[in-house]
Amino acid sequence: MTDITINGAEVSLSGDDDMPLLWYLRDIKGMTGTKYGCGAGLCGACTVHVNGSAVRSCQTRIADMQDGDAVKTIEALADGDTLHALQQAWSDHDVPQCGYCQAGQLMQAASLLADNPNPSDEEIENAMWGNICRCGTYQRIKAAIRAVSNA
């Protein structure tokens, strides 16, 4: 059994070691904000943070988790009733269309800004590469990230 935290709550992982973290979050913990997209780690819809870094939860197995790991999902990006600055920028820039990819996009962007609070446009594009938006709102996504950055 592995003891981790999910959004600040201590959890003892049990069950099939080959189960993806995505399914643990959605099916066992009932946290449906993290989305299933491609199942191959190629689209980014399932992006969460593990120890502060963006990871694809569909490709992260329960067996990959270590005691003390900290998982943060989209459900914990906001601080209570106060939106995270990126969530507000997403709204201000009319980023979401269908919205399916947005949790993963937001988690990837939050990881980028935590590591690099003032990214260039090229750094934003490189960091967000692999997070697919079926509606093609990439320019709005970049504008929202730019609005939150320390530029």
Is the pLDDT confidence value at 151 over 60? Answer: no
User: Which domains are present in the chain?
Assistant: 2-74 (3.10.20.30), 85-148 (1.10.150.120)
Asked if the model's pLDDT at residue 150 lies above 90, the reply is: no
Q: What is the pLDDT of residue 74?
A: 97
**Cα 42 from Cα 45, distance rounded (Å):** 9
Mean per-residue pLDDT for 104-132?
97
pLDDT in tens, 68-99: 999 999 999 998 889 999 999 999 999 998 88
7 pLDDT band, cuts 50/70/90, is: very high
Rounded-to-integer distance, Cα 123 and Cα 109, Å: 11
Nearest to 108 by CA among 82, 90, 135, 83: 90
- How high is the pLDDT of residue 86? 97
> Which residues neighbour 117 within 8 Å (Cβ) at sequence distance 6 or greater?
149, 150
Integer CA distances (angstroms), 66 to 56, 69, 101, 137, in order = 16, 6, 27, 36
Residue 6 has pLDDT above 80, yes or no: yes
User: One-letter amino acid identity for 100?
Assistant: Y
Res 50: pLDDT: 98
Percent of the chain with pLDDT over 70: 99
The pLDDT, as a whole number, for residue 131 is: 95
pLDDT, residue 91, reads 96
